[in-house]
Every structure is written in structure tokens, then in C-alpha cells.
Structure 1
Amino acid sequence: MTERPTRGTRADYRHFLPITTRWMDNDVYGHVNNVVYYGYFDTVVNEYLIRRGALDIHAGHVIGLVVESSCRYMASLAFPKPVTAGLRVGRLGNSAVTYEIALFDGDADLAAAEGRFTHVYVDRESRRPVSLPAELRAALEPLVTGT
């Protein structure tokens, strides 16, 4: 028998963002559709980077491209309950970052879902990998957990 992985808790994450669910997030089964979780992941990462001045989505010379993603679903989320997204960095490399995200049902301590995705940072024009800019690395270092 395969043992289930443990669910993360709020204490495992470094940054949090409340997210308001929308009516259209629910599917016909009455819970948030699986594809919407990835939108929540993208929202917490980009909110963090933009607010810290580490990502200029319109004119920055460096952009992040997703090269890998995954999600484990452990409990349902549903409109109209709020969601809290937790964020940490599992790996901070020269040109790549692995973000780890948990989605919590309102104020719950146990994650309803946990996901990850890896950005490779590239030059906007050439699309070739580049070293992380200093301001991006400085913004990400407080999120590194070493998981």
C-alpha cells in the first residue's frame, strides 16, 4: 500500500496572498475546477514579484518561462469561500527558480492543494537563458526554504 504524502501547513510557506474565488471558478461538480488552481499559482508568484519591483511585465529585459508544473489535490475549494495562497522557493538556481505554492481553504492550516512550477528566466528578445537579475534574486532569497 502506498503511503499518502503529508499535507503542507501555513508554517511551511513564507508569503501569503488572499484570493477571492469567483462564481465561474466552480465547475459542474460544485468545486473549483482543477485548471483554475494553476491560475491561482500564477497569481501569487507574479503578485509577489511585481510588488517587490523584481518583474516588469511590460518592459523588462528578462522574463520567466514555465518549463515544468505539477499539482497535488487533497481537498476541494469552492466559491464563495476565499482561498489563501502560500508561496515559497524550493530551488533558486542561476537562471531557473522552482516556486512551490499551497492553496488553503480560507484560514485552514492544512493545504487543500500543493503545486510547483519552474521558471527559466530568459532574455525577452532572444529567449535564451540569462542569469537572474540582482533585484530578482534579492526578492526571491527570503522565500527559499531548501525543500
Structure 2
Amino acid sequence: MTASERRSLPAYPYHHLLGTRWSDNDMYGHVNNVVYYSYFDTAVNAFLIRSGVLDPHGADVIGLVVETGCQYFAPLSFPEALTAGLGVERLGRSSVRYHIGIFREGEDAPAAQGHFVHVYVDCGTRRPVELPAGLRRALEGVLLT
């Protein structure tokens, strides 16, 4: 995705509130690049938990991250209120590709945006499995158009 293809906040079907933390800043005074991946992970898992399709402590099927990527457009720093916009770009048989934007409070243009791919596997064997029906329904509810 190129900078000209940035998604605005209203384009995302799910929004999750975040805040920068003191420890997010690096020695240059802005949020370190690796922290954005934590924001992505938090937004995805909060959505799954709130949708009732993720039990982090007792699931038979789990999503493993197999790919991530991020583009940075504007620096963020502590203290700032943020919103993560989340949508699903692609649903496969056993995988899902999320698109996430990170937005400064009150702004519709992303400070960063990226993707996050989960492959769902059996918790014991770690072999790919078909997305459970409830999970697929929840993900279909946030498909990007």
C-alpha cells in the first residue's frame, strides 16, 4: 500500500482507543517503530476478545502472527491519546489479513498504518485449521470495502 492509499479513520469498521506510554518514546523523543506493532497486536486482540471469539487462556485454536508491516507518516510521542482503526482486508480458509491505522486523537489521517496476518492453528499440533464459524462471522463484520 502506498502513501496515496492511506485509509482515513472513518474507513475502519472497528476503533480501539489507545494511549502512548512513557516507555514508548525512544531517545529521539518519539514513539519507537517497534511499538506500533504492539499497538496493532493490542487492537486485533481487543477486537477478538470483545467479539467473544478469543479466549487467550483456554482456546483450542489460536492465531499465530506470520507477517506484519507498517508505514509511518507522522511522529507520535508521549503523552498522546490514539485510536487504532481496524478492518479485515482478506479472509482465507485458515488465515486473516488485518489492516490497522494508528491515529492521533482528533485526526482522520493516519500517523501510521500497516497490516497483520494471523494463521489459525490447532493449539496442540500447531497445524493450520479452518477458521471457526464464530470467528469467521466476527471477521466478516469488519471487512473493509
TM-score class, shorter: over 0.9
In 1, Cα distance between equivalents of 2:71 and 2:128: 29
CA distance in 2, matches of 1:5, 1:67: 26
Give, in angstroms, the shift of residue 107 of structure 1: 1.6
Superposed CA deviations along residues 82-109 of structure 1, whole A, max 9, x for unmatched, are 1110000000111000010000011201
User: How far did residue 17 of structure 1 move?
Assistant: 0.8
Identity %: 55
Task: Determine the structure 1 residue equivalent to 2:61.
Answer: 62
Aligned to 1:106: 105
Superposition map of 1:36-115 within 5 A: 36-115=35-114
CA distance in 2, matches of 1:74, 1:20: 18
Shift of 1:70: 0.3
How many residue pairs are counted as aligned between the two chains?
144
- Cα deviation per residue 1:30-67 (whole Å; 9 max; x = unaligned)? 11100000000000000010111101111110000111
Unpaired segments of 5 or more residues in structure 1?
none
TM-score (norm 2): 0.95
Structure 1 counterpart SS, 2:87: strand
Aligned AA for 2:24?
D
| Cα RMSD for the two superposed structures | 1.2
Shift of the alpha carbon at 1:4? 4.5
Superposition deviation, residue 11 in structure 1:
2.0
- Tell me by how many angstroms 1:128 deviates: 0.4
Stretches of structure 2 that go unaligned for 5 or more consecutive residues are none
Q: Structure 1 residue runs of 4+, over 3 Å off?
A: none
Distance in 1 of aligned mates of 2:37 and 2:3: 22
Which amino acid in structure 2 is aligned with residue 137 of structure 1? Answer: R
The alignment's TM-score, normalised by the length of structure 1, stands at 0.94
Distance across 2 between alignment mates of 1:138 and 1:127: 23
Tell me, what secondary structure is at the counterpart of 1:40?
helix
